[in-house]
A and B are shown apart, each in its own frame.
Chain A
Amino acid sequence: MNRLIVTKTPKVYIGGAFVRSESGRVFPVKDAAGAFFANVPQCTRKDLRNAVEAAAKAGPGWARRTAYNRGQILYRLGEMLESRSSEMAEAIALGAAGRRAALREVVAAVDRLIHYAGWADKYEQVLGSVNPVSSPHFNFTVTEPMGIVGVVAPDAAPLLGLVSLIAPAITSGNTVVALASGTHPYPAVVFGEMLATSDLPGGVVNLLTGFRKELIPTFATHTHLRAITAVADAAERKALRLGGADSVKRVRLVKAEDDTDWFGDAESGLYAIRDLIEFKTTWHPIGA
């Protein structure tokens, strides 16, 4: 007897729940051979708005956790990805990548998460400082998370690129609203399913799938997003800079036309964390 085919309806991970686009729209994702694989949500600016609300709700709790605990949770996320690496590799291999390349990307993504898990309780010691002042005061510079960070992921390396942008943002207590690769969104959907089973609180990372053209203007102008970290082409960079100036947000851009090596060491490290935090300097009288 022929079995009824059970296909999956991918949904996006927003506020710790799996939801469809409020618009009800979807777009088809094809496998490497060009055959239909699944319809994924074509998110709208309203989905982005809802994701920002979810991120705002999760933010204070996430930022209040100890750096050590955030590190543990990132490490746990790495564990989840490691133990399900073959599933993720299959999702990546749907695109142009071969199975071996896909597996290599998953391994690199796991390593990246572990890398930032390690930084979680260390970046403050490196970036913060005790400053010399000529009065009887201590003068400290300490870091604070910015708030909600918008992420626009590259099409190349659909998992590793996404993880490389998200991880440094959440390490310091920011929350993230991310737009997955437009051409290969499925790995982000699977990544959302792994986030849901990790210890990361719902709403800290929110993943949208959809069209860059529709969503980048809203990413640029939404005043609740404190920063944008994006891989963008020239026109998108202009839109993000203009909108970012209007809404006074920090814009961190990687040129899409540069052939960024996401596997390289340059794409991880302290400076990515530093780009998404605020510095606060306080004076405290000595002996008080």
Chain B
Amino acid sequence: MKTLVFLETVDGKLHAGSLGVLSRAAKLGGEVAGVVIGSGVAGLAEGAGAYGAQVVYVADDARLESALPQPRVDVIAGLVTAQGFDNVLFAQSVLASDLAAGLAARLEAGVNWDLAGVEERGGELIGTRAALGDSVYVEVAWKGTPRIGIVRSGTYAAEETGGSARVENAAIELQDFSTAAVLVSQDRAEQSGPSIEEADIIVAGGRGLGAAEHFKLAEELAEVLGGAVASTRAVVDAGWYPYATQVGQTGKTITPKLYIGLGISGAIQHKVGMQGSGTIVSINKDGHAPIFDYSDLGIVGDLHTIVPKLVELLRARG
């Protein structure tokens, strides 16, 4: 098997999630290559050798500077066609998801996403994913090659094995439509307060809090438990809470010992960022909220009456 792994770059470094998928690909056996795409990224390529890549292809071009998927589809499609890769694997991210799906259409290839694992069985690649709110585990496969897989973030840790990689340039032939979307401006999130990625206890607030000022409930509960406050995309986009606290697909991935969700429905966007939590407690007035499918304790009720009482009880315990 010949496997290519997309190595995403963030702030001038290879993203740990992609290196984790690369480490996994190396264990699948066969030839393993990585591809680094961007502007001024050539220097990063060699480093991927330590995580199992035998070859790293580089597409370094000013037109590839913005983290947009379509020009990257052009590069990877060209590479897969020229080198005949059997598998193309991605670590789930906003960029990688769009890139993988665009590539699937371009190459008429199958794509399986949200994979919680990939393995080799008799020359075939097999993936595992959870479906229907984690109520069913599904083994998935591909018909024909290349097989495109998007692996859930945090599934595989990056493991340094100390090898070295040969670096080669990838052809860069970009389509007109692929370069039509352009980055106009960027608004980077600023980090303030304790990082939610480090906290053992997280109290997360969602749209069900009802208004920005009700985040006070989440803050009080976090304070009495000695934890930090996290949020969802919906409340961040609405301007209720800072982006640095957002958990999920377009936010942070957290693994606290205890997660308490207040007014959070638990859609996939949020879930991928917190499903690795130890114990999950959720309070939501909608009994059908998907978060109840993967909560250890789910409370169907009004958080505005439950949380103040909970804070009081916890304070009384001292």
Q: Do the two chains belong together in a single complex? A: no
Binding site for B on A (CB under 8 A): none
